[in-house]
Amino acid sequence: MTTDSGRPLRADARRNREKILSAAVRVFAEDGLDAHLERIAKEAGVGSGTLYRNFPTREVLIEAAYRSELTRLCEAAPGLLAALPPHEALRAWMGRFIDYANAKLGMAEALRAVVDSGVNPYAHSRELIMTALATLLNAAAATGTVRTDIDATDLFAALTGVALASGKPEQREQAERLLDLTLDGLRYGVTG
């Protein structure tokens, strides 16, 4: 992570920025546009000045929080593949997708305000998600643990459906069952 001048952020500044983004996702998901930036700073354990130095406007903070969640989701794929068998990595990522979708849905009102200001926080979202999902799906298919006739677009549609039907935190048990069912469907007909 770098500053606007291209210099890398100090470790403490990077940690503060990450704490602010995590707190922003939680608070915007809970309070929408009524979220107070002072509450975000307090939950992050930083002063208001630190928050405003990093994110001079509410819109900049909302967009950065959304992009941080997207990056976290997509960058998890290689680590999961390194740590788990491909079909287990895929299933673990599917759970993370539900977390991402839940944060995005919770922030919907705040994200709409960003879009209304002329910024498109979703510009590359689909492309990044599809790349991560294709990497995981292809790795699992290469090991013969999931079907080869399903592509990332199909699985993305299924995951979006699960997120819309049961993506709220209080529906997590149902979401997990639906993700298991989806993975079972990916295994159906695989021989070997």
Architecture of domain 69-187: Orthogonal Bundle (1.10)
Which CATH number applies to 1-56? 1.10.10.60
Among residues 6, 50, 3, the alpha carbon closest in space to that of 24 is found at 50
The domain limits of the chain are: 1-56, 69-187
- The Cα–Cα gap between 155 and 136 comes to 11
What is the per-residue pLDDT across 11-38, written as a single tens digit (0 to 9) for each?
A: 888 899 999 999 999 898 888 778 899 9
Instruction: Give the per-residue pLDDT at 9.
Output: 67
Mean pLDDT (whole number) for 66-88: 95
What is the per-residue pLDDT across 78-113, written as a single tens digit (0 to 9) for each?
A: 999 999 999 999 999 999 999 898 888 878 888 888
Give the pTM.
Answer: 0.84
Question: Which token pair is 146?
Answer: 């999931």
